[in-house]
Chain A
Amino acid sequence: MILDQIPPGFKVNMLELRNIQKTYEGQLLLHGISFTVAPGETVCLLGPSGSGKSTLLRIIAGLENAEQGDIFWDGENIASIPVHQRRFGLMFQDYALFPHKSVRENIAFGLEMQKLPRTEIDQRVTTALTQVNLTGFESRRVTDLSGGEQQRVALARARAPDPRLLMFDEPLGALDRTLREHLGTELREILHKSGVPAIYVTHDQEEAFTIADTVMLLHDGHIVQSGAPDEVYSHPASGWVAEFLGLGNLLTGVVRRQAASQTVQTGVGTFSLKCGHAHHDGEQVHVLIRPAGASLGVEATGRSVRGSVTDILFHQSGFKVTLDNGLYFYLPAAPKIGERVAVQAGSVECLG
């Protein structure tokens, strides 16, 4: 009935957070966080350590209470529902596998809590293990497993009871680089196939960009930007975002307005730039000069900078050339150290 009244194209939200606030040891950790997760959507909460992203997960899971704000699931306020009745799955950092239980017993735990019949539990444990490529590991001790195997068991344990929402707290943090990339891709496939909405917390941007449908950047208790990965990448909302994501050379500049034209004055030169919204004369802005797509030589577009070369490093995407003013660029051909060059930057952007 109600579904019929929903206009086509209207986004249904499974999870909705409204104005969540939390203090930790007297300091405001989360300031009025609000966001939604749609069915099948994977949201990545990305932020430096201490930004409160794990706490946010624990609040959603019900392990901690927010001081203010509400959590809705499918329109129903779930703030008063205790953790064990929320039917959410949470995969912990370092996995928190029960060391006194076998692989089978770990995965079966959530199913036993639902009081399912023995045969069904066994069957679902086997299925869960097959899904994570650990067939035959049932009776192994979890403490004998390698880090990657433990991670898979933790994933199987979190998924086995068919949670309505899956949450991941830095699930790959304890693994080495190669394994992390491999398991990250695998996780993305699993999440997309299952269609279960997911929230994924990490401080590693590559991981976030691999897995997320939507990336949310958490800074100082606020969500400072939220959007699809490519959107966030190409349009960072602030200097902090650009710096945190390591998008390139970040400078501070001052807006100079003269009649209809607007320029931004920085330590390495003056650029004629459009900023996101109108700025008055003398206002401070951030300027992002991306290192990729640069070339040697001057063109009359106001995107060039001059300097003498102080360092040249070979890099996969060309030569990383550093100038005496601190800027760096990726260039297809290397100049000489000490040479004075003019570099045509790929893009120069003004960030609010």
Chain B
Amino acid sequence: MTRRALYWLAPSLFLLLFFFYPLVRVFLLSLKPDFGTLPTLAALPDFLNVLQFTFYQAFLSTLLTLLAGVPIAYLFSHFDFRGKPLLRALTAVPFMLPTMVVAAGFNALLGTRGWINLALMGAFNLSTPPITFVGTLTAILIAHVFYNTTIVIRLVGNSWAQLDPRLAHAARVLGADSTTVLRQITLPLLRPSLLAATLLVFLFDFTSFGVILLLGGAQFRTLEVEIYIQAMHFLNLPAAAVLSMIQLLCTLVFSIIYSRVVTHAVIPLNPRAASINIHPVRAIREKIFVFAASIFILVLFVLPMAALPARSVVRLEPDRGERGNFQPALTLNNYRELTINRLGSLFYVPPIDAVRNSLVYATITVVLSLILGFPAASALARPARLEKFIDPFLMLPLGASAVTLGLGYILTFNRWLYAPILVPLAHTTLALPFVIRSLQPALASIPQRLRDAAAVLGASPRQVWRSVDLPIIARAVTAAGVFAFTVSLGEFGATAMLARPEHPTMTTAISRFLSQPGGLNYGQAMAMATILLVVTTTAILMIEKIRLPGSGEF
């Protein structure tokens, strides 16, 4: 008991100080508002609009995500075809990509200076871009679909793959036609996973921040964006605190519904080998479906992410004052600009410093979250009563909004607000649940029998640890570390609240470049987002490679 308590000492203290206490400060501020700064009654309809829009866009996004994800889930769970592993991997990447990269990617494809608009302008000699994408609801919805379709594919696809095909056959023999089978057998059996996916997607869409801020433009505000604007633009912290509490309440309700669905809607099935439904593509109908679905996946998942790096190295527009025949050309200018501290540039430092800052913050996050996460995960791997009690608290940062956390830090640590360390501390809080969740299954999976076998064969306790535990743990620790690294690199909500202009990170830099006019800023946004894309994708592929089979997701 005392040793277990020791395991928990550091992580508990850390979360108390850097997660719960800041949230309590937000809560307290929302309770006793200063009436001078509180939004007046006149502003109330505005807030109701924000709330309404938050639900509205989350509802629409979820619906579209299901429409996109369910056919792809069917594709992956029923057909075997060439290129399937690659397509599968492609659909898994977006979920972990930083919002800034996604925003920049869609901007590179469909923005005013993006590929499609510039191509159309060139082809038809237009003076203005024909497609307005950035700043529309469509942009928000498409980015959300891009982001969250993975969840539907994974959750629904997994349970669909394990669905016993003979249940449908039994229904057919008993006289049911194919629509009746779908209505009476397939859908009811998929319902738990459909519900879980719907709720999870809704939760993510509801708390979406970067996508709305950068692709939605000024006229679209969700709760999360409004909290940020109230706190950072109007410096109205009490209003931000009230909104934070409303948001927290909503997410709490969704999370409770979600965990109830996950535990109660489960239909006991005989688990079957996941390959039972998979067959090669034969009929013409199937061929058409597989082809169309594959094209859809390529367009939705690959095009924006391919447009970004391509746009960063191609000059498509004439520079200001440049006349005569303009030819598109390859250029590394955008990258060169990152190293130059131009007068009138957004920063007082060369933008490349943002890359260095991000890497430093990410490294600190990795070290801190591993130091804190390892003892917690070891204790959770052999759970006793204490662990059952603590576990849900550890996972709370997963559901908390990053902007709210940032607000809490502003309230709590206002005296040290200029200290750059606050950023990696916030990142550690957000990364900790991921780290624990990826360490715990690996630590729990080391069977005592292996240790016993090694000991019987003559290994001393130290040799046992070195030959049995260490190799397994090393993989898990690497995976967890890379995970924390990715979370920190891509984090935007809390960073946007805490990072000082003189210490920009990659995400805040991309955000500023994108929201400023001019081809130079646009080019630098493309370049920096490409760097972030490459680093993150490499990390994701690394995690996929070293992840132990059967370890948890999300």
Residues of A near any B CB (own CB < 8 A): 58, 61-63, 82-90, 92, 94, 96-100, 109-110, 113-114, 143, 157-158, 161
Residue B174 interfacial (CB < 8 Å): yes
Residues of A within 8 A of B298 (CB): none
Contact A92–B175 (Cβ < 8 Å): no
Report B162-206 CB contacts with A as 1/0, cut-off 8 Å: 001011011111111100100011001100000000000000000
A98, B167: Cα distance in complex, Å: 6
Q: What are 15 A-B contacts with C-beta separation under 8 Å?
A: A58-B169, A61-B169, A61-B173, A63-B172, A83-B169, A83-B172, A84-B175, A92-B166, A96-B164, A98-B185, A109-B184, A110-B174, A143-B268, A157-B170, A161-B174
What residues make up the interface of B, taking CB atoms closer than 8 Å to A?
A: 164, 166-167, 169-177, 180, 184-185, 188-189, 267-270
Query: Given A98-B185, A99-B269, A113-B175, is A92 in contact with B170 using a C-beta cutoff of 8 Å?
Result: yes
A63 and B167 contacting across the interface, CB-CB below 8 Å? no
Minimal beta-carbon separation of A351 from chain B (angstroms): 38
**Which residues of chain B are near A85, meaning CB under 8 Å?**
175
A99-B169 in contact (CB<8A): no
Which chain A residue has the least Cβ–Cβ distance from B172?
A83
Give how many A-B residue pairs fall within 8 Å (CB-CB): 68
Q: Which residue of A lies closest to B185 (CB)?
A: A98
Q: Are the C-beta atoms of B174 and A109 separated by less than 8 Å? A: yes
A113 to B184, CA, bound (A): 11
A90 & B267 in contact (Cβ 8 Å cutoff): no
B171: which A residues are within 8 A, CB to CB?
Answer: 98, 109
Q: Given A96-B166, A98-B170, is A84 in contact with B176 using a C-beta cutoff of 8 Å? A: yes
Chain A positions within 8 Å of B177 at CB level: 82, 84
Q: Are A63 and B173 in contact (CB under 8 A)?
A: yes
Indicate if the CB atoms of A90 and B170 lie closer than 8 Å. yes
B175 touches A114 (CB 8 A): yes
Assembly CA distance A100 to B176 (angstroms): 16
Residues on the B chain within 8 Å of A83, using CB: 169, 172-173
* B contact patch SS: helix
Contact pick for A113, options B176, B268, B269, B270, CB 8 Å? B176
Chain A residues within 8 Å of B166, by CB = 92, 94, 96
Q: B172's contact among A84, A87, A98, by CB below 8 Å, is which?
A: A84
Instruction: List the B side residues contacting A157 at CB < 8 Å.
Output: 170, 174
Question: What CA separation (Å) do A96 and B163 show in the bound complex?
Answer: 11
CA–CA, A113 and B505, complex, Å: 63
B residues less than 8 Å from A63 (CB atoms) = 169, 172-173
Complex: how many Å from CA A158 to CA B169?
A: 12
| Residues of chain B within 8 A of A161, CB atoms compared | 174-175
Contact present for B188 and A100 (CB under 8 Å): yes
Extra pairs beyond A97-B170, A100-B189, A158-B174 (11, CB < 8 Å): A83-B169, A84-B172, A84-B173, A84-B174, A90-B170, A90-B173, A96-B167, A98-B167, A100-B267, A109-B184, A161-B174
Docked pose: A100 CA to B268 CA in angstroms? 8
Nearest-Cβ distance from residue A273 to partner chain B, whole angstroms: 48
Shortest Cβ distance from residue A144 to the other chain B in the assembled complex, whole angstroms: 9
Residues of B within 8 A of A61 (CB): 169, 173
Chain A residue nearest in CB terms to B164: A96
* Interchain CB contact under 8 A, B173 and A113: no
| Cross-chain contact A87 with B175 (CB below 8 angstroms) | yes
A110, B175: Cβ atoms closer than 8 Å: yes
C-alpha spacing A282/B173, complex, angstroms:
53
Residues of A with C-beta under 8 A to B176: 84, 109, 113
Provide the bound-state CA to CA distance between A85 and B167, in Å.
Answer: 17
Interface centre among B170, B172, B176, B185 (most CB of A within 10 A): B170
In the complex formed, the residue of B with least CB distance to A157 is: B174
Report how far A99 CA is from B169 CA in the complex, Å: 14
A54 to chain B, nearest CB (A): 11
With both chains docked as a complex, state the minimum distance between the C-beta of A267 and any C-beta of chain B, in angstroms.
45
Residues of chain A with a CB closer than 8 A to B184's CB: 109
B319 to chain A, nearest CB (A): 62
Docked complex Cα distance between A90 and B184 (Å)? 19
Closest to B268 in A: A143
Interface centre among A58, A63, A86, A158 (most CB of B within 10 A): A63
Question: Complex Cα distance A92/B270, Å?
Answer: 14
A99 touches B175 (CB 8 A): no
| Complex alpha-carbon distance, A113 and B174, angstroms | 7
Which of B164, B174, B176 counts the most chain A CB atoms within 10 A?
A: B174
**Complex CA distance for A99 and B189, rounded to whole angstroms:** 8
Question: Would you call B173 and A99 a contact (CB within 8 A)?
Answer: no
Name the A residues within 8 Å of B268 (CB-CB). 99, 143
Q: Pick the residue among A89, A96, A113 that contacts B169 (CB under 8 A).
A: A96
Minimal beta-carbon separation of B81 from chain A (angstroms): 16
| Pick from A82, A94, A100, A109: contact of B270, CB under 8 Å | A94
CB distance from A244 to the nearest CB of B (A): 27
How far is B175's CA from A114's CA once the two chains are assembled, in angstroms? 7
Q: With a CB–CB cut-off of 8 A, which chain B residues contact A88?
A: 173
> Nearest 3 pairs between A and B by C-beta?
A113-B175, A110-B174, A96-B166
Give the complex CA separation of A164 and B177 in angstroms.
Answer: 19
A98 to B170, CA, bound (A): 9
**Which chain B residues lie closer than 8 Å to A89 at the CB level?**
173-174
For B167, the chain A residues whose CB sits under 8 A away are: 96, 98-99
